[in-house]
Structure 1
């Protein structure tokens, strides 16, 4: 098994987070329509665990207010 440096690990983890962000943003745009830059920025600041939680509930959202409420409760911003 090949040794993975800290830099490689961080890059791999960053890639996972960025991929998760991209999928969630696409799903939200399809579900709710265009997102404001502020909402996109808030989603991009979420941790991987928060992104995974959002991915599980976003299909229950009917309005932009549902997303805003979730972000208010679940993000640290």
Structure 2
């Protein structure tokens, strides 16, 4: 049995989890405490989407900006 694919998957999940935590902390600092529903939506994002959100949040000034960005991702 090859364990390499399992390690790779675990590593990717760890990276994604770390990015989710960092983005959530940055959002809380930038626009204030965000609610659980928005956090759940962030947790559903891919690594690529999280990276894009990390850049986009620099332009956010309110929770509405985050909501708009998240809604655009589901289109």
TM-score range, shorter chain: over 0.9
Q: Mind listing any 5+ residue stretches in structure 1 that lack a counterpart?
A: none
Secondary structure class of the residue paired with 2:61: coil
Q: How far 1:13 moved relative to its partner?
A: 0.4
Partner of 2:67: 68
Secondary structure class of the residue paired with 2:45: coil
Give the TM-score, by structure 2 length.
0.92
Corresponding pairs, count: 74
* CA distance in structure 2 between the aligned counterparts of 1:4 and 1:19, rounded to whole angstroms: 23
The runs of 4+ residues in structure 1 deviating greater than 2 Å are: none
Q: Mind listing any 5+ residue stretches in structure 2 that lack a counterpart?
A: none
Q: How far 1:74 moved relative to its partner?
A: 1.3
Secondary structure class of the residue paired with 1:16: helix
Give the TM-score, by structure 1 length.
0.90
Q: How far 1:75 moved relative to its partner?
A: 3.5
Cα distance per residue 1:9-31 (max 9 Å; x no partner): 00000000001101000000001
